């Protein structure tokens, strides 16, 4: 992000103010932290989510045919992004359901199409790698992933190792740099 882009700076500040919590939080790793980033507060705010999606639209690679949102946080992001791009969406489960259509990817067909994987926050990139592999097994062509926030904890490098280029609207450093208070 550049300092010239005051709109994106304002968006980073609003996301940070909305999502950064202080207190005592036990993380998935078992570590205790005094700060927590609650990404669902962003996704639950329709106006903020719409502004994010409008900015993400410019990052969608040319040639993308389907936007694929990952369960759970990528689903609201991909839905909002689809409104701004006009592209069809697929909703990707962590595992195929065992009833009804028994599909892994619901919504738009992914086989034979250029698919952009969409996630809310990327940390290690693990779920994006797993889901991309599953989408590729279904015949999707996946070369890029897009996220709202790259926490810059090795995710982009992990994805690159699997032939996936990560594009992010913001990084954790952007949020820290533009933090209010």
- pLDDT tens, residue by residue, 53-88: 999 999 999 999 999 999 999 999 999 999 999 999
The pLDDT of residue 96 is 87
The pLDDT of residue 178 is 83
Q: Which residues contact 86 (CB under 8 A, 6 or more apart)?
A: none
Q: Is 39 annotated as a binding residue?
A: no
Q: Is 122 annotated as a binding residue?
A: yes
- Is the pTM value of this prediction over 0.85? yes
In a domain, 159, yes or no: yes
Handedness of CA 30, 32, 36, 40 (dihedral sign): positive
Query: Could you list the residue range(s) of the whole structural domain that residue 161 is in?
Result: 52-177
In a domain, 73, yes or no: yes
What does 49-93 look like in DSSP terms, one character per residue?
HHHHHHHHHTTSPTT--EEEEETTTHHHHHHHHHHHH---EEEE-
Q: Is 126 annotated as a binding residue?
A: yes
In a domain, 45, yes or no: no
For the chain, list residues with pLDDT below 70.
Answer: 1-4, 181
The pLDDT of residue 89 is 98
The pLDDT of residue 2 is 46
């Amino acid at each position: 992000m550049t300092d010239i882009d005051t709109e994106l700076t304002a968006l980073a500040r609003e996301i940070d103010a909305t999502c950064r919590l202080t207190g005592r939080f036990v993380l998935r790793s078992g570590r205790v932290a005094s700060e927590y980033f609650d990404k669902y507060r962003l996704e639950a705010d329709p106006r903020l989510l719409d502004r994010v999606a409008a900015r993400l639209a410019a990052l969608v690679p040319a040639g993308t045919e389907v936007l694929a949102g990952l369960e759970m946080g990528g689903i609201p992001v991909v839905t909002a992004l689809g409104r701004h791009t006009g592209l069809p969406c697929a909703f990707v489960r962590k595992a195929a359901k065992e009833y009804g259509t028994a599909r892994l990817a619901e919504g738009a067909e992914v086989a034979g199409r250029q698919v952009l994987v969409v996630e809310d926050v990327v940390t290690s990139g693990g779920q994006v790698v797993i889901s991309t592999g599953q989408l590729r097994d279904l015949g999707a062509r996946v070369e890029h992933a897009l996220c709202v926030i790259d926490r810059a904890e090795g995710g982009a490098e992990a994805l690159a190792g699997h032939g996936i280029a990560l594009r992010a609207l913001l990084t954790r450093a952007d949020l820290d740099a533009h933090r209010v208070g």
